């Protein structure tokens, strides 16, 4: 076990995923205490910098989700004040948080990702983007999934079956971010592959499959709702599909420059059997029902061990 | 990929999927599956910040209660009844508290027998206990649509099948209730009780008409169903004539041999939360004796008894007289009425100013809430996300499926000062305006939302007559659609 350190667990904050973050943070704190570290909990607010200065922590453990905590803001701040922290650096955070940017990068690098278009609110207001909607619809085809470019939860994720539904779905998504992603809907299986850094470099954990309880085609939102989904790990997949999913996850992880830990979400197309990467989360949840601890456990890595490894990433940048 | 780069290799086989979640999953009761934490709830938790004007809560304004009186009553209870206040009390509640409850109900013209009262930990516990006593998984509860958002998780926890009946300006339409009951009967499903908030409905703000009240108790009688009458706000009427409670209407019909002269199919739910304080956590039920016994048994399992400290506080408070010798609690309710009436009017005025033409809303004669429904397919959950510094309850929270009601919102006018009401409504109006402009731009029914230089804003389409040039710069879909869109805007 590593030397006892003074660790500040950063959690909460003002993002829409605050509640989940508080739960992730609380679990990380317990694990860190069990590991013998000196733990200070910080709810990321206006006092964040003062608290960090005061506590003189050896490292910050990032349990923040969503805005500020996952988009590179807090990471940049920690760099500025010289506190080592777990997980990805500011640039990787920005690349992953902006789903449009991540998808463009993946397209360039040849990592399969569902076809899409990104629309900015300002472009609607000032550049007449509305006139391009028919082209977008034609190119991507219905049904479409519309989501805020930077939001990690179910909020603002809308399903548009036709031209009539698309504009309101875009406005809805733009409530959460200045940019909305319009993505071709892939009907198939929801997979997630967590990636964890180790002494021999990043390693893909077993694949998790999220199976919605209700087989409701149009109820896209329920897929993201706790209690509406059953998770299976390791996912029951042919070995080569598992391998390819893990490979794609590692590719995305490396391409986006992630560090320490990340969760890569994928789709397995029901019709073609093709895998594609939807997005990469640099701040995966650590709650009882989160996918990262689930995958780690299936790989024989207990929760405390997982937290120890994530903490290690603060000192290996 | 080779095995070494996948940590799911050999060790996985050694521990076959014995992951944490599955361990808990096997232990969780089936009913927890219905208990969901939705993204919307997460978001509402986020709005509980001091810098946010909250029109979301179901809060009365407790700052209006006299601190001196509170201190005096508390020390009175402490000094005169230390041992009793600190001791367990009877499950059904203390006799002195039951007498206060009878007094409150008498103010609404409802006669209750103190021996048919059970004191509960808030009105919320009544909903829980009634479900506990009556609902097996899959049993049907008929409720209003929208319904009290706080009842939704309770109904879900008991795995009830909830049929929601859309309300109108006069509350639950009894025709619709009857056809629902007929359909349920045809399907071989028997509802256990009808859940209704007849006065100033939460969240709808409407009041059930007298004619419907009479028919409701009649229907319940004919079909031998129980009615759970949730009446937290009955005394908070700001205008119009008070209407008799369902409990009292049914008591008129009740057969004399059925017992104490009360109703024999209405379970009445009351609370001190809105007329005194929600912090006391004291509510009550008045129920037919056989039901009362089950509620009592259920309560024994839940919490043995409600706090004797706060029960004695209530009894002491009800003994207070003001300078004119009138009961102090009645004077306080009158003060609340005046205050909330004014706040309701402030909110209605603000709605007219900031929501006018873009939404419809109810005009409640009492209670705490206004229910506003926006035009178009706007999701108020999204609106809440966009809102800076103002909170409300998205309409979805009032529907069991969490999806209907998405264009509506519940607004509380009672809990915050006038200035905050005005500012809060103004802020929501501003966000709505922004959204609508954006949508208009996307659908081609409005010009670009942000002010653009005149030369670009009015650049006509080549084949458009110049007189329409200011209407739209972005026609999409076919010509017929654009034409309709234009007409719509001209109206």
For A110-147, how does the pLDDT look when each residue is reduced to its tens digit (9 = 90+)?
A: 999 999 999 999 998 889 888 999 999 999 999 999 99
Phi, psi (degrees; rounded to nearest 5) at B479: -60, -35
DSSP result, B118-156: EEESHHHHHHHHHHHHHPPTT-EEEEEES--TTHHHHHH
Which member of B6, B45, B448 has the closest CB to residue A204?
B6
Q: Which residues of A226-263 are buried (b: 16+ CB within 10 A; e: fewer)?
A: bbbbebbbbbebeeebbbbbbbbbbbbbebbbbbbbbb
Tell whether A293 is within 8 A of chain B (Cβ). yes
Which CATH superfamily is A94-112+187-315 part of?
Answer: ATP-grasp fold, B domain (3.30.470.20)
Cβ distance of A18 and B442 shorter than 8 Å: no
pLDDT at B257: 52
Q: Give the range among A61-65, B201-205, B337-341, B460-464 with minimum mean pLDDT.
A: B460-464
Question: How large is the average pLDDT for residues B163-189?
Answer: 95
pLDDT at A132: 92
Q: Residue B205 pLDDT more than 90?
A: yes
Q: Any idea which fold B73-318 has?
A: 3.40.640
Under a CB-based contact definition with an 8 Å cutoff, are residues A122 and A157 in contact? Answer: no
Q: Write out chain A residues lying below 8 Å of B438, CB-based.
A: 121, 124-125, 171, 174
Cβ distance of B4 and A20 shorter than 8 Å: no
Q: Which residue of A has its CA nearest to B378?
A: A168
- Of B158, B153, B163, nearest to B195 (Cα)? B163
| Strand B191-196 to A275-281 pairing | unpaired
Pick A221 or B89 by higher pLDDT. Answer: B89
Run means of pLDDT, 10 residues per run, chain A, 317 residues: 86 84 93 96 93 95 92 96 97 96 97 96 88 94 92 78 92 91 93 94 95 57 55 94 98 97 95 95 89 94 96 94
Q: Give the range among A124-133, B165-174, B311-320 with minimum mean pLDDT.
A: A124-133
CATH of domain B30-62+330-442: 3.90.1150.10
| Strand A208-212 to A59-62 pairing | unpaired
The CATH number, out of the four listed (1.10.1040.10, 3.30.1490.20, 3.40.50.720, 3.20.20.150), of the domain defined by the range A116-184: 3.30.1490.20
Kind and range of the H or E element at B479?
helix B479-490
What is the token pair recorded at A274?
Answer: 């093709």
Active-site positions of A? 17, 153, 224, 263, 265, 279, 281, 285
* B58: preceding bond cis by omega (within 30 degrees): no
Label residue B466 exposed, middle or buried (CB < 10 Å: 0-12, 13-18, 19+): exposed
Under a CB-based contact definition with an 8 Å cutoff, are residues B196 and B173 in contact? Answer: no
pLDDT at B41: 64
What number of residues does chain B have?
491
What is the torsional sign of CA B90, B96, B99, B104?
negative
- How many CB atoms are located within 10 Å of the residue B384 CB? 24
* A107: preceding bond cis by omega (within 30 degrees): no
Q: Give the range among A54-58, B148-152, B332-336, B351-355 with minimum mean pLDDT.
A: B148-152
- Widest pairwise Cα distance in chain B: 89
Pick B427 or A213 by higher pLDDT. Answer: B427
DSSP result, B245-295: -HHHHHHHHS-GGGSSSS-SSEEEEEESTTTT-GGG--EEEE--HHHHHHH
- Of B235, B177, B243, nearest to B213 (Cα)? B243
- Of A262, B12, B189, nearest to B3 (Cα)? B12
Interatomic CA distance for residues B206 and B179, integer angstroms: 22
Residue B225's SS3 state is: coil
Question: How large is the average pLDDT for residues B174-188?
Answer: 96
pLDDT at B10: 40
Q: Domain A6-86 has what CATH class?
A: alpha beta
Phi, psi (degrees; rounded to nearest 5) at A90: -55, -45
pLDDT at B27: 76
Question: What rounded mean pLDDT belongs to chain B?
Answer: 84
Break chain A into its structural domains and give their ranges.
6-86, 94-112+187-315, 116-184
Give Cα B274 to chain centroid, integer Å: 13
Interatomic CA distance for residues B147 and B138, integer angstroms: 19
Q: Looking at chain B from residue 440 to 479, which residues have their Cβ under 8 Å from any Cβ of chain A?
A: 441-444, 448-450, 452, 473-477
pLDDT at B28: 75
DSSP count for chain A of H helices, then E strands: 11, 13
What is the token pair recorded at B379?
Answer: 């999701």
What DSSP character marks residue A283? S
Interatomic CA distance for residues A182 and A163, integer angstroms: 12
Whole-prediction pTM value? Answer: 0.77
Break chain B into its structural domains and give their ranges.
30-62+330-442, 73-318
| Strand B226-230 to B266-271 pairing | parallel
Cβ distance of A130 and B476 shorter than 8 Å: yes
Kind and range of the H or E element at B261?
none
Which member of B33, B38, B46 has the closest CB to residue A16?
B46
For B139, B237, B407, the CA distances from B228, given in Å and listed in that order, are 15, 21, 28
Residue B387's SS3 state is: coil
For A100, A213, A280, B335, the CA distances from A177, given in Å and listed in that order, are 12, 29, 17, 45
Pick B26 or B280 by higher pLDDT. Answer: B280
DSSP result, B433-478: HHHHHHHHHHHTSS--SS---HHHHTPPPTTS-GGGTTT-S---S-
Tell whether B381 is within 8 A of chain A (Cβ). yes
Question: How large is the average pLDDT for residues B166-189?
Answer: 95
pLDDT at B490: 34
- Name A160's bridge partners: A144
- Cβ-Cβ pairs closer than 8 A, A with B, add up to 172
Q: Give the range among B40-54, B242-256, B440-454 with minimum mean pLDDT.
A: B440-454
What DSSP character marks residue B415? S
Question: How large is the average pLDDT for residues B418-433?
Answer: 94
Please report which confidence band the pLDDT of residue B472 belongs to, taking 50, 70 and 90 as the band edges: very low
pLDDT at B26: 65
pLDDT at B386: 81
């Amino acid at each position: 076990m590593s030397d006892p350190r003074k660790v500040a667990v950063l959690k909460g904050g003002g993002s829409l995923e605050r509640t989940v973050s508080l739960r992730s943070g609380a679990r990380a704190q317990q694990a860190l205490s069990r590991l013998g570290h000196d733990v200070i909990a910080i709810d990321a607010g206006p006092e964040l910098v003062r608290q960090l200065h005061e506590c003189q922590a050896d490292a910050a453990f990032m349990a923040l989700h969503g805005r500020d905590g996952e988009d590179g803001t807090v990471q940049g701040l920690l760099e500025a004040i010289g506190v080592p922290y777990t997980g990805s650096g500011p640039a990787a955070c920005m690349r992953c948080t902006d789903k449009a940017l991540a998808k463009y990068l993946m397209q360039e690098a040849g990592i399969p990702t569902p076809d899409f278009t990104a629309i900015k609110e300002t472009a609607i207001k000032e550049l007449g983007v509305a006139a391009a909607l028919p082209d977008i619809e034609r190119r991507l085809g219905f049904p479409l999934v519309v989501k805020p470019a930077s939001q990690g939860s179910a909020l603002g994720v809308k399903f548009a079956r036709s031209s009539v539904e698309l504009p309101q779905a875009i406005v809805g998504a733009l409530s959460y971010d200045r940019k909305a992603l319009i993505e071709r809907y892939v009907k198939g299986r929801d997979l997630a592959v967590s990636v964890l850094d180790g002494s021999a470099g990043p390693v893909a954990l077993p694949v998790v499959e999220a199976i919605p309880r209700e087989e409701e085609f149009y109820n896209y939102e329920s897929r993201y709702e706790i209690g509406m989904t059953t998770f299976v790990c390791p996912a029951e997949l042919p070995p080569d599909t598992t391998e390819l999913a893990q490979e794609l996850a590692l590719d995305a992880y490396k391409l986006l420059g992630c560090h320490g830990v990340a969760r890569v979400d994928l789709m397995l197309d029901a019709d073609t059997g093709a895998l594609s990467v939807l997005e990469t989360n640099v701040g995966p949840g650590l709650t009882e029902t989160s996918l990262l601890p689930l995958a780690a456990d299936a790989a024989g890595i207990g929760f405390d061990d997982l937290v120890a490894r994530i903490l290690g990433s603060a000192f290996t940048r | 990929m080779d095995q070494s780069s996948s940590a799911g290799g050999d060790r996985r086989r050694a521990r076959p999927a014995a992951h944490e979640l599955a361990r808990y999953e096997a232990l969780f009761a089936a009913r927890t599956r219905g208990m969901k934490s939705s993204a919307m709830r997460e978001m509402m938790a986020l709005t509980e910040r001091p810098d946010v004007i909250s029109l979301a809560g179901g809060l009365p304004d407790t700052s209006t209660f006299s601190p001196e009186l509170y201190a005096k009553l508390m020390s009175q209870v402490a000094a005169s009844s230390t041992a009793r206040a600190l001791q367990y009390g009877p499950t059904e509640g203390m006799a002195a508290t039951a007498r206060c409850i009878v007094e409150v109900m008498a103010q609404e013209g409802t006669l209750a027998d103190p021996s048919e009262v059970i004191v509960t930990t808030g009105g919320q516990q009544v909903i829980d206990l009634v479900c506990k006593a009556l609902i097996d998984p899959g049993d049907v509860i008929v409720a209003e649509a929208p319904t009290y958002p706080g009842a939704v998780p309770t109904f879900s926890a008991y795995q009830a099948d909830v049929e929601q009946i859309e309300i109108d300006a006069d509350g639950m339409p009894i025709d619709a209730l009857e056809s629902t009951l007929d359909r349920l009967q045809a399907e071989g499903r028997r509802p256990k009780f009808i859940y209704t908030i007849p006065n100033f409905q939460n969240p709808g703000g409407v009041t059930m008409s007298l004619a419907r009240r009479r028919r409701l108790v009649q229907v319940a009688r004919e079909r031998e169903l129980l009615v759970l009458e949730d009446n937290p706000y009955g005394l908070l009427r700001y205008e119009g004539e008070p209407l008799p409670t369902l409990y009292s209407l049914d008591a008129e019909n009740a057969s004399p041999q059925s017992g104490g002269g009360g109703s024999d199919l209405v379970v009445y739910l009351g609370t001190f939360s809105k007329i005194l304080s929600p912090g006391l956590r004291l509510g009550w039920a008045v129920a037919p004796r056989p039901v009362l016994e089950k509620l009592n048994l259920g309560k024994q399992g839940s919490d043995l008894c409600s706090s004797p400290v706060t029960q004695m506080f209530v009894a002491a408070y009800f003994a207070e007289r003001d300078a004119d010798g009138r009961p102090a609690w009645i004077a306080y309710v009158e003060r609340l009425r005046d205050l909330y009436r004014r706040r309701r009017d402030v909110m209605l005025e603000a709605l007219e100013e900031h929501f006018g033409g873009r939404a419809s809303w109810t005009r409640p004669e009492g209670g705490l809430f206004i229910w506003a429904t926006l035009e178009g397919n706007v999701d108020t959950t999204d609106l809440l996300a966009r809102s800076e510094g103002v909170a409300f309850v998205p309409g979805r929270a009032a529907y069991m499926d969490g999806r209907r009601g998405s264009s509506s919102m519940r607004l509380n006018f009672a809990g915050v000062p006038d200035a905050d009401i005005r500012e809060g409504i103004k802020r929501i109006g501003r966000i709505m305006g922004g959204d609508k402009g954006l949508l208009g731009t996307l659908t081609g029914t409005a010009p670009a939302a942000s002010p653009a230089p005149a030369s670009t804003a009015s650049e006509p389409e080549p084949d458009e007559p110049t007189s329409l040039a200011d209407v739209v710069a972005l026609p999409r879909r076919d010509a017929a659609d654009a034409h309709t869109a234009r007409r719509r805007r001209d109206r």
